[in-house]
Amino acid sequence: MKKEKSDKKKEWILDMMESFEIPKETVLDVPIISLVGDREIVIENFISIVEYGDEVIRLKTQCGEFTIEGKNLEARSMDSEHIQIKGKIQALSFGNRG
Amino acid sequence: MFLSLWNYLKGYVIVEVSGYTLEKFMNLAIRHQNTFWNIKRKDGKIYLSTTIEGFKRLKPYAKKARCRMRIVEKRGLPFLTFRYRKRVMFSVGVFLFIGCIYLLSSFVWLVEVQGCERLNETEVIETLEESGYKAGRLKARLNLREAEQKLINTYPDIIWTGIKFEGTKLVVEISESVPKPTIHTENAPCHLVAKNDGLITYIATDKGMPGVKKGDTVKKGDILVSGSMQLGDEGGSLYLTHAKATVKAKTGYALEASMPLETVQKVYTNRVSTKCDLRLFDLRIPFLRSHTKEQYDDYDEVITVKQFKLTDQFPLPFYYEKEQKVEYTPYKQPIDEESAKEKLYGTLYDALLKKLGDEAQVIYHEVVYSKDDNKLVAKLQAIVEEDISEALYLTPQEMMPQSEVEGENE
């Protein structure tokens, strides 16, 4: 019940942002995910790493658990704000909010 | 690219982390402003690269996450200098090398001229050499603007020149002026005189007083059409004009050419002797000589000079000189007289046409051949109809009114 309420609040903020044409990610703490084909993915603004392997990488983000599946996945660089992953990407998915 | 170079200069370590909660370790480390790159997972172990300072900070996190850490490899310049810290001569050599490169590249080692069409490149280089702009000079000592001025002053054909350094090359760019067209002044008073001796066959005067008529013989320099004309019918004073006429005359030409009736053909034997030198300025360092062993009676000499280059822009003061003597045996071969005659006739006729220009017509020609100790001599006699008029501009004195001259006489 409480969760729904906060969701509605967020929705309202989002609508406001849209009407003012302000980039959403500046206000909401959501991750920005950019893909280069199926070879490279950069995720900015993640919270923590849940699982790290060469076939599955799971990251905890504000929108829930973000799962990257593929082959030979390997993080090229990593710091507190962003992670750059290279490899053959096969599937991306958002899971339940942890 | 630049990031990896920076990492190499700063030095980094590849760390192997093993344990059950590797993700926890990574989260902890990242949250405390650590940066990793090239993170690989292999057999339950993680290999990651991090900075030297970062590695020192990692230890408490590893303890917290119950992971073990081990350095697999140390990479980068700091480790390299540490390893070679006791080898003094090595570092001296490194600095000496850098110093040598710097020293050598502060000289001019090659002068290059671009943009010469009518001028001779070697002449330009020699002129520059005379005033001290040559290979082997310190770049800093040369005043390029002065050299440019000097070139412009020496060669009137150069309208612009730019001299600059390109590495160890001195590049001279030259723009040549367009050749001045000969200006035909339509108004300046002139006479028409004969270019050659000849027999007038045709004369049409546009302007001026004709002095000759058809059938007259003229000598070189005779006035054909005078530029001074009488005003009025009779007894008027003279006035000067620009004489203009078409005067054609029959003229004679005699040309001579000769060629030997034997040619020497070179049949190369396979014997070649080579001599190689390494040259530094005028100092020659021989390193391959087979010259002295064999003496050939007849040979062609082929000299190849190559300048060593660091890159295209950095020529060095070292030259490689290869001198080859290629032996041949000369064979004398007689030439067929008929073909020699034909050849001579061709060259003579071509020479005649070249001398005449476009508008002349060859009326009659005859070639006489004679033999003169193994040489065939050909004499060409030709009668040609051509325009023989040539403008002779009057000097200011001649242009003075006639009456004034008379006044002086009185």
Residue A40 clears pLDDT 90, i.e. is over it: yes
| Overall average pLDDT of the B266-291 stretch | 76
Residue for token digits 């000759």? Answer: B212
* Interface contact flag, B37 A51, Cβ < 8 Å: no
pLDDT at B290: 63
Residue B409 clears pLDDT 50, i.e. is over it: no
* Interface contact flag, B26 A76, Cβ < 8 Å: no
Q: Give the residue, B378 or A97, on which the prediction is more confident.
A: B378
Residues of B with a Cβ under 8 Å from any A Cβ are: 22-23, 26-27, 30-42, 46
**ipTM of the complex, rounded to two decimals:** 0.76
In A, minimum Cα distance to B36 occurs at: A78
pLDDT at B400: 63
Mean pLDDT of chain B: 83
CA angle B200, B202, B206 (to 5 degrees): 115
pLDDT at B407: 42
Neighbouring-strand partners of residue B60: none
In A, minimum Cα distance to B38 occurs at: A76
CB B226 within 8 A of CB B205: no
Residue B410 clears pLDDT 50, i.e. is over it: no
CB A95 within 8 A of CB A67: yes
Reported as a single tens digit per residue, the pLDDT across B12-22 is: 999 999 988 88
- pLDDT cut 70: percent of chain B above it: 93
Other CB atoms within 10 Å distance of the CB of residue B275: 17
pLDDT at B49: 92
| Overall average pLDDT of the B233-249 stretch | 77
CB B230 within 8 A of CB B177: no
pLDDT at B232: 67
Does the global pTM surpass 0.80?
no
Residue B140 clears pLDDT 90, i.e. is over it: no
Length of chain B: 410
Reported as a single tens digit per residue, the pLDDT across A15-38 is: 887 788 777 667 777 888 999 999
Reported as a single tens digit per residue, the pLDDT across B43-76 is: 888 999 999 988 998 999 999 889 999 999 999 9
User: Per-residue confidence at B292, pLDDT binned at 50, 70, 90?
Assistant: low
Q: Give the residue, A83 or B116, on which the prediction is more confident.
A: A83
Q: Hey, which of A74-88, B205-219, B259-273, B364-378 has the most confident mean pLDDT?
A: A74-88
CB B229 within 8 A of CB B218: no
**Distance of alpha carbon B121 from alpha carbon A65, whole angstroms:** 75
pLDDT at B235: 63
Mean pLDDT of chain A: 85
Residue B304 clears pLDDT 70, i.e. is over it: yes
User: Per-residue confidence at A43, pLDDT binned at 50, 70, 90?
Assistant: very high
**Distance of alpha carbon B109 from alpha carbon B105, whole angstroms:** 9
Spatial CA neighbour of B29 closest among B6, B3, B50, B47: B50
Mention every residue, 6+ apart, whose C-beta is less than 8 A from residue B242. Answer: B185, B186, B187, B188, B189, B190, B207, B208, B227
Domains and CATH numbers, chain B: 2-81 (3.30.70.2280), 110-176 (3.10.20.310), 190-251+390-405 (no CATH), 262-334 (no CATH)
* Interface contact flag, A50 B26, Cβ < 8 Å: no
**Distance of alpha carbon B40 from alpha carbon B31, whole angstroms:** 19
Question: Sign of dihedral through CA atoms B153, B154, B157, B163?
Answer: negative
- Residues of B in Cβ contact (< 8 Å) with A50: 23
In B, minimum Cα distance to A86 occurs at: B38
Strands B198-207, B217-218: pairing kind: antiparallel
**Distance of alpha carbon B381 from alpha carbon B225, whole angstroms:** 29
At the top level of CATH, which class does the domain A31-98 belong to?
Answer: mainly beta
CB B135 within 8 A of CB B108: yes
Q: Hey, which of B97-101, B131-135, B347-351 has the most confident mean pLDDT?
A: B97-101
pLDDT at B289: 67
**Distance of alpha carbon B194 from alpha carbon B178, whole angstroms:** 31
Chain A: closest CA distance from residue B35 (Å): 5
Neighbouring-strand partners of residue B111: B170
> Both tokens of residue B1?
């690219």
CB B333 within 8 A of CB B350: no
| Overall average pLDDT of the B76-88 stretch | 87
Dihedral of CA atoms B161, B166, B170, B174 in degrees, nearest 10, equals -20
- pLDDT cut 90: percent of chain B above it: 7
Instruction: Identify the helix (H) or strand (E) that includes residue B31.
Output: helix B22-31
In A, minimum Cα distance to B54 occurs at: A79
Q: For residue B13, count CB atoms less than 10 angstroms from its CB and return exposed for 0-12, middle for 13-18, buried for 19 or more.
A: buried
**Lowest-confidence region among A39-53, B16-30, B314-328:** B314-328
Position B281: which residue type? F
B216 secondary structure, DSSP code: -
CB A53 within 8 A of CB A67: no
* Interface contact flag, A80 B33, Cβ < 8 Å: yes
Reported as a single tens digit per residue, the pLDDT across B113-137 is: 888 888 888 888 888 888 888 888 8
* Interface contact flag, B41 A54, Cβ < 8 Å: yes
Reported as a single tens digit per residue, the pLDDT across B149-202 is: 888 888 888 888 888 888 888 889 988 888 777 776 677 788 888 888 888 888
Q: Hey, which of B95-109, B220-234, B263-277 has the most confident mean pLDDT?
A: B95-109
Dihedral pair phi/psi, residue A64, rounded to 5°:
110, -165
Position B194: which residue type? A
Mention every residue, 6+ apart, whose C-beta is less than 8 A from residue A72. Answer: A54, A87, A88
- Residues of B in Cβ contact (< 8 Å) with A75: 36-39
